[in-house]
Amino acid sequence: MSENLIACRGLSKAYGRKAALSGVDLEVGRGRIVGLLGPNGSGKTTLIKLMCGLLQPTTGQIEIGGLPVGTETKAMVSYLPDRMYFANWMRAVDLFDLFRDFYRDFDYEKAIAMCRSLGVEPHDRLKTMSKGTKEKVQLVLVMARKAQLYLLDEPIAGVDPAARDFILHTILTNYNEEGTVLISTHLISDIEKVLDEAIFLKTGKVMLHETVDHIRETQGKSVDALFREIFRAQTLEGGEF
Protein backbone atom coordinates (compact mmCIF):
# COMPACT_ATOMS: atom_id res chain seq x y z
CA MET A 1 0.00 0.00 0.00
CA SER A 2 1.39 3.37 -0.90
CA GLU A 3 1.53 6.05 1.73
CA ASN A 4 -0.52 8.63 -0.09
CA LEU A 5 -4.07 7.87 -1.07
CA ILE A 6 -4.23 10.63 -3.65
CA ALA A 7 -1.23 11.76 -5.63
CA CYS A 8 -1.48 14.29 -8.46
CA ARG A 9 1.54 15.42 -10.41
CA GLY A 10 1.51 18.33 -12.83
CA LEU A 11 -2.18 17.79 -13.37
CA SER A 12 -3.81 20.06 -15.94
CA LYS A 13 -7.18 20.05 -17.61
CA ALA A 14 -8.41 22.34 -20.34
CA TYR A 15 -11.86 22.55 -21.89
CA GLY A 16 -11.11 23.65 -25.39
CA ARG A 17 -8.82 26.63 -24.89
CA LYS A 18 -10.09 27.37 -21.38
CA ALA A 19 -7.90 25.97 -18.59
CA ALA A 20 -9.83 24.54 -15.64
CA LEU A 21 -6.82 23.17 -13.76
CA SER A 22 -3.19 24.03 -14.33
CA GLY A 23 -0.22 22.27 -12.84
CA VAL A 24 -1.81 20.79 -9.74
CA ASP A 25 0.56 18.87 -7.47
CA LEU A 26 -1.28 17.33 -4.57
CA GLU A 27 -0.79 14.59 -2.01
CA VAL A 28 -3.42 13.49 0.46
CA GLY A 29 -2.93 10.79 3.07
CA ARG A 30 -5.28 8.20 4.55
CA GLY A 31 -7.74 8.64 7.39
CA ARG A 32 -8.30 12.34 6.81
CA ILE A 33 -11.26 14.60 6.21
CA VAL A 34 -10.14 17.16 3.68
CA GLY A 35 -11.92 20.28 2.44
CA LEU A 36 -11.49 21.19 -1.21
CA LEU A 37 -12.29 24.87 -0.99
CA GLY A 38 -12.67 27.49 -3.64
CA PRO A 39 -15.23 29.75 -5.26
CA ASN A 40 -17.35 28.56 -8.17
CA GLY A 41 -15.27 27.92 -11.25
CA SER A 42 -12.02 27.38 -9.37
CA GLY A 43 -11.72 23.77 -10.58
CA LYS A 44 -13.08 21.78 -7.64
CA THR A 45 -15.53 19.68 -9.66
CA THR A 46 -12.97 19.20 -12.43
CA LEU A 47 -10.42 17.83 -9.95
CA ILE A 48 -12.92 15.43 -8.43
CA LYS A 49 -14.11 14.19 -11.82
CA LEU A 50 -10.54 13.55 -12.86
CA MET A 51 -10.09 11.42 -9.73
CA CYS A 52 -13.06 9.25 -10.57
CA GLY A 53 -12.30 8.97 -14.26
CA LEU A 54 -15.19 10.97 -15.68
CA LEU A 55 -12.69 13.38 -17.21
CA GLN A 56 -9.31 12.64 -18.73
CA PRO A 57 -6.38 14.91 -17.86
CA THR A 58 -4.92 17.09 -20.58
CA THR A 59 -1.47 16.59 -19.04
CA GLY A 60 -0.11 15.15 -15.82
CA GLN A 61 -1.03 12.11 -13.74
CA ILE A 62 -3.28 11.06 -10.92
CA GLU A 63 -2.88 8.01 -8.75
CA ILE A 64 -5.38 6.71 -6.24
CA GLY A 65 -3.85 4.28 -3.75
CA GLY A 66 -0.78 4.07 -5.99
CA LEU A 67 -2.75 3.05 -9.09
CA PRO A 68 -3.70 5.04 -12.16
CA VAL A 69 -7.44 5.74 -12.42
CA GLY A 70 -9.17 2.61 -13.71
CA THR A 71 -11.37 -0.28 -12.69
CA GLU A 72 -9.39 -0.98 -9.50
CA THR A 73 -9.48 2.61 -8.30
CA LYS A 74 -13.17 2.91 -9.11
CA ALA A 75 -13.81 0.02 -6.73
CA MET A 76 -12.06 2.03 -3.98
CA VAL A 77 -13.77 5.36 -4.61
CA SER A 78 -17.25 6.36 -3.48
CA TYR A 79 -18.37 9.39 -5.43
CA LEU A 80 -21.20 11.83 -4.74
CA PRO A 81 -21.67 13.90 -7.90
CA ASP A 82 -23.10 17.40 -8.08
CA ARG A 83 -26.18 16.12 -9.90
CA MET A 84 -28.78 13.33 -9.91
CA TYR A 85 -27.57 10.37 -11.86
CA PHE A 86 -30.32 7.82 -11.72
CA ALA A 87 -33.36 6.99 -13.80
CA ASN A 88 -36.64 8.09 -12.29
CA TRP A 89 -38.49 4.81 -12.62
CA MET A 90 -36.24 3.12 -10.08
CA ARG A 91 -36.82 2.76 -6.37
CA ALA A 92 -34.15 3.37 -3.77
CA VAL A 93 -33.92 -0.38 -3.15
CA ASP A 94 -33.28 -0.98 -6.86
CA LEU A 95 -30.28 1.29 -6.59
CA PHE A 96 -29.14 -0.53 -3.46
CA ASP A 97 -29.38 -3.81 -5.41
CA LEU A 98 -27.28 -2.31 -8.16
CA PHE A 99 -24.65 -1.07 -5.73
CA ARG A 100 -24.56 -4.42 -3.94
CA ASP A 101 -24.01 -6.11 -7.31
CA PHE A 102 -21.11 -3.92 -8.32
CA TYR A 103 -19.40 -2.76 -5.14
CA ARG A 104 -18.10 -5.39 -2.77
CA ASP A 105 -17.87 -2.85 0.06
CA PHE A 106 -21.54 -1.81 -0.11
CA ASP A 107 -23.49 -2.62 3.05
CA TYR A 108 -27.13 -3.21 2.08
CA GLU A 109 -28.50 -3.41 5.62
CA LYS A 110 -26.67 -0.25 6.58
CA ALA A 111 -28.19 1.55 3.59
CA ILE A 112 -31.70 0.54 4.64
CA ALA A 113 -30.99 1.60 8.23
CA MET A 114 -29.61 4.93 7.05
CA CYS A 115 -32.74 5.50 4.95
CA ARG A 116 -34.93 4.92 7.99
CA SER A 117 -32.90 7.31 10.12
CA LEU A 118 -33.04 9.93 7.35
CA GLY A 119 -36.80 9.48 7.02
CA VAL A 120 -36.67 8.03 3.52
CA GLU A 121 -38.89 5.10 2.58
CA PRO A 122 -36.58 2.86 0.52
CA HIS A 123 -39.45 1.26 -1.43
CA ASP A 124 -40.77 4.56 -2.79
CA ARG A 125 -40.19 5.38 -6.42
CA LEU A 126 -37.62 8.10 -6.99
CA LYS A 127 -40.14 9.79 -9.27
CA THR A 128 -42.35 10.57 -6.27
CA MET A 129 -39.51 11.92 -4.13
CA SER A 130 -38.62 15.58 -3.63
CA LYS A 131 -35.23 16.85 -4.72
CA GLY A 132 -34.03 16.89 -1.13
CA THR A 133 -35.10 13.28 -0.58
CA LYS A 134 -33.36 12.14 -3.75
CA GLU A 135 -30.21 13.83 -2.54
CA LYS A 136 -30.51 11.89 0.68
CA VAL A 137 -30.80 8.63 -1.28
CA GLN A 138 -27.67 9.50 -3.18
CA LEU A 139 -25.88 10.30 0.08
CA VAL A 140 -26.96 6.93 1.49
CA LEU A 141 -25.58 5.15 -1.59
CA VAL A 142 -22.25 6.84 -1.13
CA MET A 143 -21.92 6.55 2.66
CA ALA A 144 -23.13 2.94 2.95
CA ARG A 145 -19.89 1.86 1.28
CA LYS A 146 -16.74 1.13 3.21
CA ALA A 147 -14.61 2.93 0.67
CA GLN A 148 -10.99 4.02 0.72
CA LEU A 149 -11.81 7.41 -0.70
CA TYR A 150 -15.05 9.36 -0.53
CA LEU A 151 -15.31 12.15 -3.08
CA LEU A 152 -18.19 14.42 -2.13
CA ASP A 153 -18.88 17.21 -4.60
CA GLU A 154 -20.77 20.05 -2.95
CA PRO A 155 -22.82 17.84 -0.62
CA ILE A 156 -24.21 20.78 1.35
CA ALA A 157 -24.89 23.31 -1.38
CA GLY A 158 -28.45 24.48 -1.69
CA VAL A 159 -29.84 22.85 1.45
CA ASP A 160 -31.16 24.52 4.59
CA PRO A 161 -28.99 24.71 7.74
CA ALA A 162 -30.84 21.88 9.50
CA ALA A 163 -30.31 19.56 6.53
CA ARG A 164 -26.71 20.69 6.36
CA ASP A 165 -26.05 19.60 9.95
CA PHE A 166 -27.82 16.38 9.24
CA ILE A 167 -25.71 15.65 6.18
CA LEU A 168 -22.47 16.43 8.02
CA HIS A 169 -23.58 14.25 10.90
CA THR A 170 -24.33 11.43 8.47
CA ILE A 171 -20.91 11.76 6.90
CA LEU A 172 -19.14 11.89 10.27
CA THR A 173 -20.91 8.88 11.71
CA ASN A 174 -20.71 6.68 8.62
CA TYR A 175 -17.42 7.11 6.85
CA ASN A 176 -14.80 4.41 6.95
CA GLU A 177 -12.18 5.55 9.45
CA GLU A 178 -9.28 4.16 7.47
CA GLY A 179 -10.59 6.02 4.46
CA THR A 180 -10.23 9.62 3.43
CA VAL A 181 -13.11 11.99 2.78
CA LEU A 182 -12.65 14.81 0.31
CA ILE A 183 -15.45 17.39 0.47
CA SER A 184 -15.65 20.20 -2.05
CA THR A 185 -17.55 23.32 -1.09
CA HIS A 186 -17.61 27.08 -1.11
CA LEU A 187 -19.52 27.18 2.21
CA ILE A 188 -16.54 26.85 4.49
CA SER A 189 -17.86 28.05 7.84
CA ASP A 190 -20.35 25.18 7.85
CA ILE A 191 -17.82 22.41 7.49
CA GLU A 192 -14.70 23.92 8.92
CA LYS A 193 -14.89 22.08 12.22
CA VAL A 194 -15.10 18.66 10.63
CA LEU A 195 -11.98 19.14 8.54
CA ASP A 196 -8.43 17.95 9.18
CA GLU A 197 -6.99 19.72 6.20
CA ALA A 198 -7.96 22.46 3.82
CA ILE A 199 -6.98 22.77 0.18
CA PHE A 200 -7.58 26.19 -1.37
CA LEU A 201 -8.10 26.18 -5.11
CA LYS A 202 -7.90 29.43 -7.01
CA THR A 203 -8.38 29.59 -10.78
CA GLY A 204 -7.21 26.02 -11.24
CA LYS A 205 -4.18 26.16 -8.96
CA VAL A 206 -3.57 24.93 -5.42
CA MET A 207 -2.96 28.06 -3.34
CA LEU A 208 -2.70 26.46 0.06
CA HIS A 209 -2.73 22.99 1.53
CA GLU A 210 -2.52 22.97 5.32
CA THR A 211 -4.09 21.41 8.38
CA VAL A 212 -6.94 23.45 9.81
CA ASP A 213 -5.26 23.59 13.23
CA HIS A 214 -2.12 24.97 11.69
CA ILE A 215 -4.02 27.67 9.85
CA ARG A 216 -5.76 28.73 13.04
CA GLU A 217 -2.58 28.65 15.08
CA THR A 218 -0.43 30.61 12.67
CA GLN A 219 -3.05 32.96 11.25
CA GLY A 220 -5.09 33.44 14.43
CA LYS A 221 -8.26 33.25 12.41
CA SER A 222 -10.63 30.67 11.05
CA VAL A 223 -10.16 29.01 7.68
CA ASP A 224 -13.35 30.74 6.60
CA ALA A 225 -11.95 34.17 7.47
CA LEU A 226 -8.70 33.39 5.67
CA PHE A 227 -10.65 32.17 2.65
CA ARG A 228 -12.68 35.37 2.50
CA GLU A 229 -9.53 37.43 2.73
CA ILE A 230 -7.78 35.60 -0.09
CA PHE A 231 -10.71 35.58 -2.44
CA ARG A 232 -11.79 39.15 -1.74
CA ALA A 233 -8.30 40.20 -2.77
CA GLN A 234 -8.81 38.32 -5.99
CA THR A 235 -11.68 40.52 -7.19
CA LEU A 236 -9.73 43.65 -6.26
CA GLU A 237 -6.73 42.48 -8.24
CA GLY A 238 -8.97 41.99 -11.19
CA GLY A 239 -9.94 45.65 -10.94
CA GLU A 240 -13.63 44.88 -10.79
CA PHE A 241 -15.89 46.70 -8.39
Partner 1 sequence: MLGKLLKYDIRAMWKQFSIIWPAALIIALINRFTLPFNQGSGNEVGVKSELLAVITITVFVGVMCAMFVVAMVFVLTRFYRGLLGDEGYLMHTLPVQTWQLVLSKLICAVIVTVLNVVVSFLAMFLMMPINWTALFDVIQWQRLLQGLMKQPDALLYLGEFFLLCGTALALMVTMVYLSMSIGHLFHRRRVLMSVVAFFALDIAGNLIISFINELGMLRFLNKMAEWGGHTGFWVGIVLLLIPAVLMFLATSYLLKHRLNLE
Partner 2 sequence: MEWKLTDDRPIWLQLTEQMTRRIITGVYPPGSRLPSVRELAAEAGVNPNTMQRALAQLEQDGLAKADRTAGRMVTQDTAVLEDVRRAQARVVMDQYFNAMAELGYSPAEAAELLKEEKE
Residue 209 CB, shortest distance to partner 1, in Å, is 25
Stretch touching partner 1 by CB under 8 A, among 53-61, 116-124, 163-171, 185-193: 53-61
Residue 125 CB, shortest distance to partner 2, in Å, is 32
d(CA 176, CA 76): 12
Our CB check for partner 1 shows the closer of 63 and 192 to be 63
Residue 145 CB, shortest distance to partner 1, in Å, is 11
Q: Do strands 6-15 and 18-28 pair parallel, antiparallel, or not at all (unpaired)?
A: antiparallel
Contact present, 23 and 44 (Cβ < 8 Å): no
d(CA 137, CA 130): 11
Residue 92 CB, shortest distance to partner 1, in Å, is 14
Report the partner that residue 172 touches, choosing among partner 2, partner 1, none (CB closer than 5 to 8 A by kind).
partner 2
DSSP string, 47-111: HHHHHTTSS--SEEEEEETTEESSHHHHHHEEEE-SS--S-TT-BHHHHHHHHHHH-TTB-HHHH
Secondary structure string (H, E, C) spanning 185-204: ECCHHHHHHHCCEEEEEECC
CA 181 to chain centre: 7
For partner 1, the binding residue among 62, 79, 129, 171 (CB under 8 A) is 79
Our CB check for partner 1 shows the closer of 103 and 200 to be 103
Asked if 157 interacts with partner 1 (CB under 8 A), we say no
Residue 158 CB, shortest distance to partner 1, in Å, is 17
* Site residues (vs partner 1, CB under 8 A): 15-16, 49, 52-56, 71-72, 74-75, 77, 79, 81, 83-87, 89, 98, 101-103
